[in-house]
Structure 1
């Protein structure tokens, strides 16, 4: 029997038939059971329980025999909906074949070389960008020391200048990021990779010019435009989705977290190592130009990897995953269409904007916060960030794939929001550095929310406009990032300036309320909207495997 579509079937109760998006109608024509009335009722009950299971996974059940199905269904009952909403493995028939490891989707990937290359490119870009981001706070501190030698509160002044560089690039991404998604769907993902990499390099060059001229305007202008480099990061998600089977996307997206973790680990280590040859005066001034050079070189490595990648749109078309590339000349019209045409995707994007907003407090203020409260210098901050990166790798490579075999993406997302809220409370009251470090250990789980949310959005989106939707969601998240960075910087500056009570962790405490509210909202969304593209978890497969041994159907016809 041949099936043309992997979309879940929809039960039409009352006549025992199924309607499927692929226009097939699956009907039970005959039962070979002597107790036909009991068998039919039990069979329909079984099919109702399996209604959301992919038809490739059901296919092993559809074989001919003359065994009563009633006892099997009575023994095993209905399968819980939550069981269906977990990890799916299309490659193996249910109940058969060897156990698959958490990294099996990677090891068995048809385009493994391209997958490795795109992850390697992403890792180099993250490493270089992170070294650069650790360098930027010192640029502003040095600028204030030179231009305002009598300033008593150097850190507050530096935070003020840095708040502009943190927030304005998000506006650029919001305005032009959606257009990048449209171009990505039309001309390919590699174009976005080239663009994003070149933008980061130009950004670093502008920083060098600013340092040499002691003029922030060069940096502000180019850095604001370079904020659109995020289209390259969004294109990484689209690229992986293009060359992969849908059921493998959540696992493969977790490998993006591994790449991010490697970048977070190696970036700070390289940054610290690059300061060993600096003079004491240079270290006192918090400026190590070698960090800037090394960061730029690592990003340039990404540029040299891109030509060796196959274009993922071509691969998708060859595999008949994309029949026709659809695009819109107005990217904002596309964003509007997302919110008006698909309520589920729209609400998931809103959840994405929430995490985009709240993550800004740590990214924007953690360096200055730790220097002020714990007297950490750049080396300590780098080691802390590297430790967090190691934990991110453990979560992304080992723990998240294991959890996806037991729990749905949606459940893990909700748990992530709750963990984020609790760790933000801990950050807020972390007057001791060990409380901060302990909070960071737990919070290393939270970045995985971004990949899981992108996975949910990706699997609920038609392949033809996947790049537009994923990049559009990142553009919308950029607007939230703009507001989040401004809010975090201003709250931190207000509560450390002496104008009000001294409370450096105020921004974290405020965002804990936002995260907890988002946690509640996610539960409401999951309850209101059934997962349109569920996966099948391991414990469900065990139940079905048992049923398979004692249950089968006769004469299942496929009606076009």
Structure 2
């Protein structure tokens, strides 16, 4: 096992990578809007763009996760960093919607950094501190979004293409840093033979679905992830339509989301796990998320969104807790495949949820700003969280061995 200090290297890589991704979040919907003529058309095409990215993720994420189990985490991460750089440049240079698809395809094929980083963290962690390692990776992810969206909003106010060039530069710097500094975490002795069946994304999902020991957790994770994917896709357009927010205002709101996530996952996660345990913490976090989604949809003033973000602290701890529970039931030499499969669930959500969310948002986009029906996408997210609560409670009730005590 590698030294625990090696986790610091991967945290920096994740931070730089997410900083680049965060830069484009407030401006990509606006860029799509430059090639469309109405709000509903903008919503639908942005959903299609997001779904295209998710489709490529779905097809390539299990492959890259399984490949990292065979050849190591480091080369796969370097491939991801180089591909994301090409993605940002292709998006910045796109003269029309068709060319935007090229960037989305390249980005989806390359976006393996998060799942491989999670596998890297698992490699160098003991079972006892694995949840905290996942929390630190999540905190690095959140820290990237603390700086990224705000900087992207400010740069986008100057020139809508500028954030994409900056993101490309950061990805290039991340590649250089990873090539020169980051060591390999997976020892050759624990690498399984390469199996072509693991390259099929449906194979990994079917294999995950057949694991009856964690099926309830997988269902819970899927519902929570799908709700998050719908929020990610519709947030910028929703706040623009309802509150008239600019890219800079959306960037600041996402800054608050990243800051809250980082505080919880880097500073409070250990305390919360000691207080409630991973099982109770995951359920409480999902409940908090359900209430927050409902409140987002009913908010009538922009400032209310900030208040909801700050009050929704437990939801940011639910993900690492669920991820740790699933990881603990998986052998060490299958962690990369597991994380790739979990990310495939996210990718499948990014295929379906943007299409569904953008379709719903397009239907209500012409309503008056004060009409409560504009929050329809968030109401659906709240319903998915409620279903996740039911699935989690049922799983823990039938698997008493999974219940941990403070």
Give the Cα separation in 1 of the matches to 2:197 and 2:156. 47
* SS of structure 1 residue aligned to 2:315: coil
State the 1:531 CA deviation. 3.7
Aligned to 2:192: 325
Cα shift readout 1:371-401 (whole Å, capped 9, x = no counterpart): 2221211111111111222211111122211
Residues 279-305 of structure 1 show CA distances to partners (whole Å, capped at 9, x for unaligned) of xxxxxxxx4332222121122222122
Which of 147, 166, 180 is 1:266 aligned to? 147
Mapped partners of 1:243, 1:253: distance in 2: 11
Encode CA deviations 1:184-240: one digit per residue, 9 max, x unaligned: 111111122112212211211211221xxx222122133134213332210111001
Report the equivalent of 1:207.
91
What is the Cα deviation at residue 166 of structure 1?
0.9
Aligned twin of 1:336:
206
Checking the alignment, whether the CA contact within 8 Å between 1:358 and 1:515 is kept in structure 2 is: yes
Structure 1 CA distance, aligned partners of 2:348 and 2:326?
18
**1:99-110 mapped onto 2 (5 Å cutoff):** none
Partner of 2:14: 122
**Which protein shows a greater Rg?**
1
CA distance in 2, matches of 1:335, 1:261: 27
Structure-2 separation of matches of 1:509 and 1:201: 36
1: CA distance, partners of 2:352 / 2:404: 35
1:158: Cα distance to partner? Answer: 1.3
- Preserved CA contact (<8 Å) 1:492 1:507: yes
Q: Say what the alpha-carbon RMSD is for the aligned residues.
A: 2.2
Partner of 2:160: 288
What SS does the corresponding residue of 2:19 show, helix, strand or coil?
A: helix
Q: Answer whether contact 2:278 2:404 (CA < 8 A) is retained.
A: no
Does residue 302 in structure 1 map to residue 194 in structure 2?
Answer: no
Task: Give secondary structure in 2 for the equivalent of 1:297.
Answer: helix
> Which TM-score applies when normalising by structure 1?
0.68
Query: Structure 1 residues 195 and 448 mapped into 2: Cα distance closer, same or farther (>3 Å)?
Result: farther
TM-score if structure 2 supplies the norm length?
A: 0.92
Please list every run of at least 4 consecutive aligned residues from structure 1 whose deviation after the TM superposition is greater than 6 angstroms: none
User: 1: distance between equivalents of 2:229 and 2:176?
Assistant: 31
Is the 2:205–2:344 contact (alpha carbons within 8 Å) kept by the matching residues of 1? no
Contact 2:17 2:81 in 1 (8 A): yes
Is the counterpart of residue 399 in structure 1 residue 271 in structure 2? no
Partner of 1:224: 105
Question: Which of the two has greater helix per residue?
Answer: 2
Q: Which moved more, 1:122-131 or 1:430-439?
A: 430-439
Number of residue-to-residue matches in the alignment:
400
Checking the alignment, whether the CA contact within 8 Å between 1:351 and 1:522 is kept in structure 2 is yes
The counterpart of 1:514, out of the listed 384, 393, 403, is 384
State the distance in 2 between where 1:137 and 1:335 align: 30
Q: Report Cα offsets for 1:222-262 as digits up to 9, x if no partner.
A: 31342133322101110011011111101111111221221
Q: Contact (CA 8 Å) 1:326, 1:465: kept in 2 or not? A: no
CA contact (8 A) 1:178 1:471 kept: yes
- Who is 1:131 aligned against? 23
Q: 2:108 matched to 1:239?
A: no
- Structure 1 residues 404 and 427, CA gap change in structure 2 (3 angstroms): same
Q: Could you tell me whether the CA contact under 8 Å between 1:197 and 1:303 is conserved in 2?
A: yes
2:302 corresponds to which of 393, 409, 433: 433
CA distance in 1 between counterparts of 2:75 and 2:339 reads 16
Corresponding residue for residue 396 of structure 2: 526
What stretches of structure 2 of length at least 5 have no aligned partner? none
Structure 2: distance between partners of 1:313 and 1:536: 32
Alignment partners' CA distance in 1, 2:75 and 2:399: 36
Structure 1 contact 199–226 (Cα < 8 Å) conserved: yes
Matched with 1:311 is 184
**8 A contact 2:86–2:106 mirrored in 1:** no
Supply the distance in 2 between the matched residues of 1:469 and 1:155 (Cα, whole angstroms). Answer: 39
Aligned to 1:186: 70
Q: Kindly indicate whether the alpha-carbon contact (under 8 Å) linking 1:117 and 1:305 is maintained by their aligned counterparts in 2.
A: no
Check whether the contact 1:132–1:292 (CA below 8 A) recurs between aligned residues: yes
Measure the CA separation in 2 of the matches of 1:338 and 1:261: 27
Bigger mean CA deviation after superposition, 216-225 or 161-170: 216-225
Q: How far 1:268 moved relative to its partner? A: 2.7
In structure 2, what is the Cα distance between the partners aligned to 1:409 and 1:509? 27
- Is 2:131 aligned against 1:250? yes
Q: Is the 8 A contact 1:197 1:300 kept in 2?
A: yes
Return the alpha-carbon distance in structure 1 between the equivalents of residues 294 and 404 of structure 2. Answer: 34
The answer on 1:359 being equivalent to 2:228 is yes
Conserved? CA contact 1:200–1:299, under 8 Å: yes
Q: How much does 1:351 deviate?
A: 1.6
TM-superposed deviation, 1:129: 0.4
In 2: Cα distance, 1:295 partner to 1:120 partner? 15
Check whether the contact 1:268–1:382 (CA below 8 A) recurs between aligned residues: yes
SS of residue in 2 equivalent to 1:387? helix
Cα pair distance change 1:136/1:522, threshold 3 Å: same
Distance 2:213 2:73 in 1: 26
CA contact (8 A) 2:9 2:182 kept: yes
Stretches of structure 1 lacking an aligned partner (at least 5 in a row)? 1-108, 149-153, 279-286, 538-560
Matched ranges for 1:452-463 at <5 A: 452-463=321-332
